[in-house]
Structure 1
Amino acid sequence: MILFFYIVSFSFLLKLNLILSEIVNSPYCGKSVHQEKLTYHKKIQNRIVGGWKAYDGSLPWMVHLTFPAEEGFSQMCGGSLISVDGKNSTCLVLTAAHCVKLGNQYKEPGDILVAIRQNHLKHARDEAIFLHVKNYVSHFFHEDSLENDIAILRLEKWVLFTKYVRPLCLPSANMRLPFGEECYAAGWGRTNVEKEEGMLKIVKMQLQMSKFCPRQFIQEKMLCAGNLGGGHDVCNNRIVGGWNSHPGSIPWMVYLIFPQDELHIQSCGGTLISIDGENRTSLVLTAAHCLMMNNKYKQPGNIYVAVGQHNVKRAEPEAFFLSVKNYVSHFYHNTSFENDVAILKLEMPVVFTDHIRPVCLPKVNMELPSDADCYASGWGETHEEDHGYLKVVQAKLQDASFCPKEYRSDNMICAGNLEGGHSICQGDSGGPLFCLIDDRFYQIGIASFAYFACDLPNTAAVFVRVNTYLEWIEMAGRKLSLSKIKNTKRETYSSIYLPKIQSTVANSLLAKAYQSPFEKSPSRLIAAMGDEFFKNNSNL
């Protein structure tokens, strides 16, 4: 019995006649240890009869329910962790009402076992959590019509959220459903591939209008999902223009912090780059306008860089913070936005690991395949509650005619979507536009500005074209690496060494800029059910 629980769930090569050597991309560049988690909505070669295996942590809200049915047999269902109070823990599981019934009788709560973080049912894992159900409430479920097939379980204990255990976001009551668009469904249901039985799998489905549902079952409170051509399709699980990245899936991404005063902080994105092929780097590529305030360049010592940071609203043990020792920007024009590129030198090099790597720099004459997958990433604003996670959006490269006329230049790239809905927004400046080519990610653009509202149809975000600045990137990068930058131009600062800031200082900076995580805006229906549940079971 297949029981999928549905979830609705983004120039110049170096020609200096041997004076300077060619940029050498590090062997670590552009390779994510969790690369399949970044692009799994596109890479479906490992499909399992209309789906593919889920990786640990890619569906952190997914739980498995087991119910004893009769001697020697058990019934199984899927469910999802939900939160209705905005805390960093929960005891609530959302599932289908028919799962808690056996015949015409509801099952005893104590007979229901919930497995959390159990991707493979045939192999027990040490990290898995097993809890019994203390109580549950179902709606007025009708077996004949299948209407109101919804229930909430209360676990015997609360579970704390980690990067592998998280609640699923609940939609707002008036959220418009994306009919015809692609979404995910997940579960442990049967497949025709025996050796992969028992694995948590994901399948891509499209929300369909009611005319595609069986007439005898479709009700106003039901949805249909499927693909008219069979098989499966793709979904990008976007969060107003993207989806939360998996920790470590964009290992070159860094977060720049510029304190303004006691209460305000400016931020930008940036990328680790390497020009010498070594296993470490101290160079960060970003946008020049990020370094300016009131037409003046900021002091290097007032710029902090968070490396390995995934959620900027909280302290993370894997992340560390460095101050900037020096930087150099190109001849940036703040009216035409030309030459919006800069390189920072960190106070000390960072050694590459699985979660910290440079992005690859393109060749001057590199041509992008027409089917290349390109993405932009950043911590910028969205129209929904911002939980502070690094987000990714799929970006479509557009020709020059798509760019605003006054900003068309050989040094710029425009990216956007004709239908709108996702693009870069305020706060994404300096972040990368990167494309997957030959199994590596190459940075082809630096986020400069969005000309109109960032998610309207037929609007473009403008990126600096990286391959037109390769000569400058290498020269500036080598001079910074050798500490030979002289304070002869206004856009260049002399080297000033600053001690490494303590994590408490960096965390206080983050705390000033952001609120606490796990803020939710749940559906009024589910919230009401949750309130009613605790009201009627106050002695639990």
Structure 2
Amino acid sequence: MMRYCGYWFAAHLILVNGIFAASNISRTTENQNIPSRSICGFQEIDTATVGDEVGLAESPWTALLQYTLSSGKIRFLCSGSLISPRYVLTAAHCANPHSGKLTGVRFGEYSTKTEIDCLTPNNCNERPVDIEVEEIIFHENYSITDRNHYNDIALLRLKKDVPYSRFIRPICLPESNESSTTGDLLTLTKWEREGEKSEVIIKRKVKLPVVSTEQCESKYSKMITFADSQFCAGGQHKRDACQGDGGGPLLKETRADHTQWYQEGIVSFGANPCGLEGYPSVYTKVVNYLSWIYSKVRD
């Protein structure tokens, strides 16, 4: 059986799912509306955190996607990453919910349990920022019925610019020559759900090894055929993308600066249940879609 990593589908896929100002954005050769490497991909690491914990200002590009249900209730069902003041990168399947409508994006969140989060009395973040979605841009060759999940990528254009801060910053897109190889350790920013109804969401991180296409195909060969625009990572017990992580960023340090990060992949789908030993999750390879992204982002 398969699952999308954002939310559960009842379809045929059921086993194997500081401070910057916007005006400081530098011109890139590809698109002047996307931050240059002088701005993107920097975060503040909290040395007091251990294991999969993250500091309040870590992974400041990771966002929660908001869905309005028919009841009027807001739920967080997927993830995304800020790539410019006006655009969020996510998975196409996250913009095709079976219940509710994708209406907004939350930035600067650490835990949904409290409005302002504090790790210690003197270490607190700011209130999260919610911005409505103005436009959903799917890849033209994506199909919700495609069992291979090709082109599982989308952009969300926001109704207004996101205000950059210590807790809200853009992630870098990969350069055309940046790509991971088998065995490389990448970092997944994910959301851990707590409470009786899993309604409290806390930001976490997990390091995952890139898995060879051959090894990954051996697990999914009877269900899908892999494309060059997909890759696999993980496969360790209880260390995986899971429900609510779909569309989220899989990260790697840049070659020029190990304190700077770029987005290698987008969480697409994986085993059900998540975290099965030997079953890596599948990611959309961002570097394969650079031209598409540059062609869609505008003022």
Among residues 95, 103, 107, which one is paired with 1:100 in the alignment?
95
TM-fit CA distance, 1:190: 3.4
Distance (whole Å) between structure 2 residues aligned to residue 81 and residue 148 of structure 1: 19
The AA in structure 1 aligned to 2:104 is L
* Deviations, residues 480-506 of structure 1 (Å, cap 9, x unaligned): xxxxxxxxxxxxxxxxxxxxxxxxxxx
Distance (whole Å) between structure 2 residues aligned to residue 39 and residue 119 of structure 1: 16
Matched, 1:224 2:232: yes
Partner of 2:253: 238
Q: Per the alignment, do residues 211 and 197 of structure 1 end up closer, same or farther by CA in structure 2, a change over 3 Å counting? A: farther
CA RMSD of aligned residues (A): 3.7
Identity of aligned residues (%): 22
- 5+ long unaligned stretches in structure 2: 7-42, 117-125, 241-249, 263-285
* Deviations, residues 135-179 of structure 1 (Å, cap 9, x unaligned): 120112222321111000111111243332211111122323232
Partner of 2:75: 74
- 5+ long unaligned stretches in structure 1: 5-33, 45-51, 84-89, 246-383, 385-521
Partner of 1:265: none
Distance (whole Å) between structure 1 residues aligned to residue 251 and residue 74 of structure 2: 37
Distance (whole Å) between structure 2 residues aligned to residue 129 and residue 190 of structure 1: 20
TM-fit CA distance, 1:197: 4.1
* Deviations, residues 398-419 of structure 1 (Å, cap 9, x unaligned): xxxxxxxxxxxxxxxxxxxxxx
Q: Per the alignment, do residues 58 and 65 of structure 1 end up closer, same or farther by CA in structure 2, a change over 3 Å counting? A: same
Alignment of 1:81-230 (within 5 A): 81-83=82-84, 90-103=85-98, 111-125=102-116, 126-139=126-139, 140-143=141-144, 144-190=147-193, 197-213=200-216, 214-215=220-221, 216-217=223-224, 218-228=226-236, 230=237
* Deviations, residues 54-99 of structure 1 (Å, cap 9, x unaligned): 221111101110112443573511000003xxxxxx1010001111
Q: Which has the higher helix share?
A: 1
Q: Per the alignment, do residues 118 and 75 of structure 1 end up closer, same or farther by CA in structure 2, a change over 3 Å counting? A: closer
Query: Equivalent residue of 1:53, what SS?
Result: coil
Distance (whole Å) between structure 2 residues aligned to residue 173 and residue 181 of structure 1: 18
TM-fit CA distance, 1:194: 8.2
Larger relative contact order, structure 1 or 2 (CA cutoff 8 Å, min sep 6): 2
TM-fit CA distance, 1:100: 0.8
Partner of 1:481: none
* Deviations, residues 306-352 of structure 1 (Å, cap 9, x unaligned): xxxxxxxxxxxxxxxxxxxxxxxxxxxxxxxxxxxxxxxxxxxxxxx
Query: Equivalent residue of 1:174, what SS?
Result: coil
TM-score w.r.t. structure 2 length? 0.59
Query: Equivalent residue of 2:210, what SS?
Result: strand
The AA in structure 1 aligned to 2:112 is L
TM-fit CA distance, 1:244: 1.8
TM-score w.r.t. structure 1 length? 0.34
Distance (whole Å) between structure 2 residues aligned to residue 36 and residue 196 of structure 1: 27
TM-fit CA distance, 1:199: 0.5
Q: Per the alignment, do residues 123 and 2 of structure 1 end up closer, same or farther by CA in structure 2, a change over 3 Å counting? A: farther
Larger Rg: 1
